[in-house]
Structure 1
Amino acid sequence: MQMPKTALATLLGTAIVLANLPLTHSHRDGHHHEQVQLPLEEFAQPSSSGSQTWLEKYGKQIDQVFSGPLSFSHLPYSRCLEDENAQFDIALLGMPFDTAVTYRPGARFGPYAIRSGSRRQRESRGYTLSWKNNPYELGSRIIDCGDVPVNPFDNALAIDQMEVAYSTLLGRTPASEGSVTSITQHFAKDGKQHPRIVSLGGDHTIVLPILRSLNKVYGPVSVIHFDAHLDTWPSYPGPTSEQSRVTHGTFFYLAREEGLMTNTSIHAGIRCKLSGVADLENDASVGFQLISTDDIDDYGVAEIIKRVRERVGDSPVYLSLDIDVIDPGLAPATGTPEAGGWTTREVKRIIRGLAGLNFVGADIVEVAPAYDNAEITGIAAADIVHDFLSMLLSSKPPAPHSLFAPAKDEL
């Protein structure tokens, strides 16, 4: 079959135009991109032995979104636990622990999956319409501090390692002073500013050593808990020992026993099966109010946000989000999936509504990538972490942007 002459002429004309266009590449300096034009003849001949080096010809090595070392959103990476000179206001810290689960293991690979899911995110393109900001341009230094090398054979040792690691970073002097960390100074027992940590789990048990660390600095804190499950049970059924009481379903009960939490905490998204009303009575004694998954249909997102904000008030707040709060159809890679959860969009919207509370830290847990498909869960978790950063650094919830297109003052 012959191509029509007019189509052939158009195709040839396009090829000639494209062949004469200069090739470009970008040098990135901070958040700016400088386009460097490279003439076509630069690529016409093989390189000679005396040719330019990469640095001479192309400049600083800038990784693609799919290349380079694995850190969250291509952030600067440091082994902060041993590098005492690492400076940050917000640290991303992996806690690859999953030996206290009651169903499917695998969350030890959660930090890896979340970082992998974040590869398309980066500082230079961090602005979102929903937040109307780029968290990396709000005056704070945010870095990836790597993982706590937890022991996979001894849970007591692993929990102590996580507590020591968290306390080590929490005790550092923030890189910036002023509004970025003023919340922490207001609530800290020592009257000093402290950095904030976003932890990447790991199963939900990691919150117990985190709350122990936070208690040393702030005293008891209120907890906003996104989850399908209560996690306030006294112990797992069957024979018990002191160590076996520590599971991803009992850590809040233990935290209450140790006086690590206020009685102004709240669950959001609960839909698990219970043994009966006794579970709810026990939950209330631990200090939680409860918002169920179904409440979003009966009362709406705005009312849920209002109830959460009223519950925690002006206290120091820790936010813990189990990825299973999202429906397993949208986030299948988790250890204890429960049908009928919230959508990713609903969870993100609620998080935006919580900006301006006195957050001293946050985590996302129970991402178990062995049960994922096409990184659905890892990508969702990474996007939620991006929301956490804006949430920690915003003084109030963002207003909705203008319908159809953002106004100039919103860009």
Structure 2
Amino acid sequence: MLSSWSLLLALASYAVSREITFPPVAGIQHPIYGFAVDEDAAELDITMMMSGITTFAHLPYVHCLANESEDVEKYDIAILGAPFDTGVTARPGARFGPTGVRQGGIRIGAEFSWNVYTGRNAFLEGFRVVDCGDAPLTFLDNTIALKQLDKAHKVISGRKANHTGYTVPRIITLGGDHTTTLPALRSTYHHWGAVSVIHFDSHIDTWDPEVLGGGLSHYAGVNHGTFLHIAHEEGLIKNTSIHAGIRAPMANKKYDLKNDKACGFSILTARDLDKFGTQGIIDKLKERVAGSKVYISVDIDVLDPSYAPATGTAEVGGWTTRELLTILDGLDGIELIGADVVEVAPIYDNPGETTVLAAAEVVHSLIALMAATPVNALS
């Protein structure tokens, strides 16, 4: 049996062996991954994922909507939130989409974003990408809100780009419901003229405003199902535009498709992917928009609800997230002058944040497409 003295010595030895020494408390959070070393032995600071304000992919925040008299940091690609959802015909909630997509992008960081498929890092290709925050939009009057978004796009795209190779910054909008694409197309027209739209969606969104909402009032006719019809009427888009992923039912047996064609669109249905494969879809999209400037609009409901439940008008039978990302990456080389990801309504997501994670990665792919091909503006 151990004596009392021996027992005390044993306990003291155990206490010493279990002692933990903590580093000094610093006022600055250390990077979560420490430091990474590139091929040239330069240290790259990997941003702490859970610290700081939540911008998309931890991008620097720039007050892009500051008064003209204020100095604003230059940028080449701007992320702009459009918290608007009073143009929906089904479930509301997309006004919180910009916040949701930023939350979904919290694990993305500039220094830690080398693409395993392409070997590229879109954030490190010489273009300054920033988060401009959200446009200040009223939720009480659609007409005023859309005018506010018109102005936000005008201000942000009206600043001189940081890159010396071209003059006009490009914008990726985080919706918001799909009505928010209309102000974006008005903005791109000002700088690049009419564009071909690649529209990823389960719905055609070219419905005649007189059919969808306009029977009540002109005000009601401007919504997330008519904005492409209106864009066509305003001359913003070319007759070389195309839908991809369509599967939702039509309101009229013949008129809807006839009107859609008149608005300048051809259609790739969701099940066309089964016939042509991802490469076939890529080839058809590129062929359709060849020789023109391109705007890409991604309604997150192009994905099947099993991959993106958090949306206003979910339609079963859609694409997987991997299929959509493969198609987007395959569009490398197009002259992409603007883009958006819309209809993300985080309240309907699951605890695993399936939808916002997918939406954030789509934004990442859109940034890569822009970084791959600079585009000079007409004005």
Q: TM-score range by the shorter chain?
A: 0.7 to 0.9
How far off its partner does 1:65 sit? Answer: 1.2
Compute the RMSD of aligned alpha carbons: 2.6
How far off its partner does 1:131 sit? Answer: 2.7
Alignment coverage as a number of residue pairs: 343
Check the 8 A contact 1:269/1:341 in 2, yes or no: yes
Partner residue of 1:95 out of 75, 82, 87: 82
Q: After superposition, what is the alpha-carbon deviation per residue over 1:262-310, rounded to whole angstroms, capped at 9, x for unaligned?
A: 1000000000001212211110000001000000001111111001001
Q: After superposition, what is the alpha-carbon deviation per residue over 1:340-393, rounded to whole angstroms, capped at 9, x for unaligned?
A: 100000000000111110110110000000100121111110111111111111
Task: Give the structure 1 partner of residue 202 of structure 2.
Answer: 228
Q: Does 1:393 align with 2:375?
A: no
Q: After superposition, what is the alpha-carbon deviation per residue over 1:205-241, rounded to whole angstroms, capped at 9, x for unaligned?
A: 0111111111111211110000000000012157321
Q: Does 1:163 align with 2:143?
A: no
Partners of 2:312 and 2:273 in 1: CA distance: 24
Assess, with a 3 A threshold, how the Cα gap between structure 1 residues 73 and 238 changes in structure 2: closer, same or farther.
closer
Check the 8 A contact 1:27/1:33 in 2, yes or no: no
Q: After superposition, what is the alpha-carbon deviation per residue over 1:153-200, rounded to whole angstroms, capped at 9, x for unaligned?
A: 11111111111110111111111112xx4xxxxxxxxxxx21111100
How far off its partner does 1:64 sit? Answer: 2.8
- The aligned amino acid for 1:212 is R
Q: Which runs of 5+ in 1 are unaligned?
A: 1-11, 35-60, 182-192, 397-411
Task: Give the structure 1 partner of residue 9 of structure 2.
Answer: none
Assess, with a 3 A threshold, how the Cα gap between structure 1 residues 17 and 128 changes in structure 2: closer, same or farther.
farther
- The aligned amino acid for 2:289 is V
- The aligned amino acid for 2:329 is R
- The aligned amino acid for 1:172 is R
Task: Give the structure 2 partner of residue 114 of structure 1.
Answer: 101
Check the 8 A contact 1:103/1:335 in 2, yes or no: yes
Q: Aligned with 1:243: secondary structure?
A: coil
Partners of 2:368 and 2:18 in 1: CA distance: 44
Partners of 1:114 and 1:92 in 2: CA distance: 11
- The aligned amino acid for 2:73 is A
Q: After the TM superposition, which of the residue ranges 123-132 and 263-272 deviates more from structure 2?
A: 123-132
Q: Does 1:268 align with 2:244?
A: yes
- The aligned amino acid for 1:383 is E
Q: Does 1:150 align with 2:127?
A: no
How far off its partner does 1:314 sit? Answer: 1.5
Task: Give the structure 2 partner of residue 213 of structure 1.
Answer: 187
Q: Aligned with 1:113: secondary structure?
A: helix
Task: Give the structure 1 partner of residue 261 of structure 2.
Answer: 284
Check the 8 A contact 2:114/2:120 in 1, yes or no: yes
Partner residue of 1:298 out of 262, 268, 275: 275
Task: Give the structure 2 partner of residue 65 of structure 1.
Answer: 49
Q: Aligned with 1:245: secondary structure?
A: coil
The TM-score with structure 2 as length reference comes to 0.85
Check the 8 A contact 1:88/1:141 in 2, yes or no: yes
How far off its partner does 1:79 sit? Answer: 2.0
Please list every run of at least 4 consecutive aligned residues from structure 1 whose deviation after the TM superposition is greater than 4 angstroms.
15-28, 31-34
Q: Which runs of 5+ in 2 are unaligned?
A: 1-12, 38-44, 375-379
Partners of 2:47 and 2:180 in 1: CA distance: 32
The TM-score with structure 1 as length reference comes to 0.78
Q: Aligned with 2:255: secondary structure?
A: helix
Assess, with a 3 A threshold, how the Cα gap between structure 1 residues 120 and 276 changes in structure 2: closer, same or farther.
same
Assess, with a 3 A threshold, how the Cα gap between structure 1 residues 370 and 17 changes in structure 2: closer, same or farther.
same
Q: Aligned with 1:224: secondary structure?
A: strand
Which residues of 2 match residues 334-373 of structure 1 at below 5 A?
Answer: 334-373=311-350
